[in-house]
Structure 1
């Protein structure tokens, strides 16, 4: 399967590698006062994807 930069799995993998590779996951993120790298990752990970899941549609 060919993946594009917009592929959700590829983006999720890239985000996970970014967080795992952070020298200090508890480091504060300046753009989000009170949040750490881990907090920001959790927030992004919980966001709903705009890409529809395969399979039958929800009723």
Structure 2
């Protein structure tokens, strides 16, 4: 199984009037993407790892 190790973060931009948005979490987390699976099948795992707010 071939994997690609990535570092993942998200940008908290829920308030449009804030001038300084920072990536969350401060230190990027590592996530292994399987190159034999479709990316859209792996997004849910990344979202769960980051504990990102739902939109």
Structure with greater Cα Rg? 1
Higher helix share: 1
Higher relative contact order, chain-length normalized (CA < 8 Å, sep 6+): 2
The TM-score, its normalising length taken from structure 1, stands at: 0.30
Higher strand share: 2
